[in-house]
Amino acid sequence: MREIAVIGTYMVKMFPAGCFGVLFCAATLPLRRRRLSRNNMGTSAAHELCLMLFTAFLAGLFALIVQSSGKSSGGLHDNLIPFQIIADLASELHAGIWMGFWVSFPGNIVMFLPLGFCPALLWHRITFRIALLIGACTSLTIELCQLPLGRSTDIDDLWLNTSGTAIGHGLYRTLDGRRPRWTKACKVIYKTEEETSHGCKTGD
């Protein structure tokens, strides 16, 4: 199936940069620990693991932007008309062409799920509005960066990517409601809260 082959190509392009992201995260761990300590905060194994995965994703996403061309993958052209993608894809689907649909709709949405999920999982006070701002600004930056690179630029990617961010944040809220201990374990630690909690349990 051609769609699976395209997804596999994307993963191959993202993998080396993702490995670099993991190594970078591991190399900067001592610096981050000192910075957190100065702010009376700390980290945990769960937080570091999730941070490594998120950093790997961001590095892979950057590599994908630099290496791949939206024109060749989805057959789409530069588009500055909002929602024009719906008419374009309807025409392609009518002709029996599904590649543009899978790349543009599920692809653009799923690709931005981590941007809504991971920041809220890793750090405190990441609200829905902040998550949307992160997704929208990241998507806009990507589209602007693609202009000088000669890549396909589509204004509809902005709302598709931001929708993916919103869904990702919704998934985090669902997980936080059902497994709050898991989500709390992945966040940075406020040492004052940790010490207060420990003191209450021990009676100190």
pLDDT value of residue 66: 78
Best CA proximity match to 51, nearest among 80, 29, 77, 75: 29
**Distance of alpha carbon 23 from alpha carbon 140, whole angstroms:** 28
112-143 pLDDT, tens digit per residue, is: 999 999 999 999 999 999 999 999 999 999 88
| pLDDT of 190 over the 80 cut | yes
Give the residue, 146 or 150, on which the prediction is more confident. Answer: 146
Give the residue, 94 or 155, on which the prediction is more confident. Answer: 155
| pLDDT of 178 over the 80 cut | yes
**Distance of alpha carbon 82 from alpha carbon 143, whole angstroms:** 14
Strand partners, 41: 190
* Helices 128-149, 45-67: inter-axial angle, 10-degree rounding: 30
Least confident interval from 44-53, 58-67, 100-109, 175-184: 100-109
Contact between 153 and 14 under an 8 Å Cβ cutoff? The reply is: no
Confidence band (pLDDT; 50, 70, 90) for 192?
low
Confidence band (pLDDT; 50, 70, 90) for 169?
very high
pLDDT value of residue 77: 62
| pLDDT of 95 over the 70 cut | yes
Confidence band (pLDDT; 50, 70, 90) for 175?
very high
